Chain A
Amino acid sequence: TQLLEQSPQFLSIQEGENLTVYCNSSSVFSSLQWYRQEPGEGPVLLVTVVTGGEVKKLKRLTFQFGDARKDSSLHITAAQPGDTGLYLCAGDPNSGYALNFGKGTSLLVTP
């Protein structure tokens, strides 16, 4: 059983389309972090969401933390080929040191 379930697992879209990916759990998190990972590289932090209901924007990326702090979503507007990558959510329900990662959503944006 995965602590953090990400969906969809794979997503292939055309440039200019909008998309939303999800990170869900039955556990409550004090915060969730979103990372993007390229093949053979380390996760690169995109955002940390802390407050239930919080919305954070990073250019064309919009992150939302659920009111109950059990889930989060990432919405990309007008996707570009440079958005291609593996999007990971991570958090620790015990507010400790160990980040639990989801398996990620692999996004492919074609021109």
Chain B
Amino acid sequence: EPEVTQTPSHQVTQMGQEVILRCVPISNHLYFYWYRQILGQKVEFLVSFYNNEISEKSEIFDDQFSVERPDGSNFTLKIRSTKLEDSAMYFCASSESEGGAETQYFGPGTRLLVL
């Protein structure tokens, strides 16, 4: 069964450093998403991406964040200068088409720890 994969599974970084989180969405999916989950809190939407453009973003997704689809299979989330409060699980998701009834499938997540 096709699945979303993410690398690395864990990342430890120093405050102020740049990190890139990587995702390989399900191959025939066209819509890609990033969510985060701070420990003990609910899953929060960050950004959605379609046709090489951001289609929607939340207030969390500020100028420190960027997304890219560098090739036909990868989808990345970059945090330019990490803060302590960026420590969280980051989940990538993908769907065949846009919102509404379309189901999003999630990857296993990257646990980011900023020291």
Using a CB–CB cutoff of 8 Å, the interface residues on chain A facing chain B are: 30-31, 33, 35, 40-45, 48, 50, 88, 90, 92, 94-104
Q: Which residues of B come within 8 Å of A, CB atoms?
A: 4, 31, 33, 35, 41-45, 48, 50, 55-56, 58, 89, 91, 98-101, 103-109, 111
Cα–Cα, bound, A101→B41 (Å): 10
In the complex where A42-B106, A97-B31 touch, is A104 in contact with B42 (Cβ < 8 A)? yes
Given A95-B99, A98-B56, 20 further pairs, Cβ under 8 A? A31-B101, A33-B104, A40-B111, A41-B109, A42-B4, A42-B108, A43-B43, A43-B91, A45-B106, A48-B103, A88-B43, A92-B100, A95-B100, A96-B48, A97-B31, A97-B50, A98-B48, A101-B43, A102-B42, A103-B41
Say whether B45 contacts A42, CB under 8 Å: no
Shortest Cβ gap from A8 to chain B (Å): 16
Q: Which secondary structure characterizes the binding site on chain A?
A: loop
- A30-B101, A43-B43, A103-B42 known; A97 and B48 CB under 8 Å? yes
Contacts of B111 in A (CB 8 A): 40
Looking at the complex, which one of A48, A50, A97 makes contact with B98 (CB distance below 8 Å)?
Answer: A97
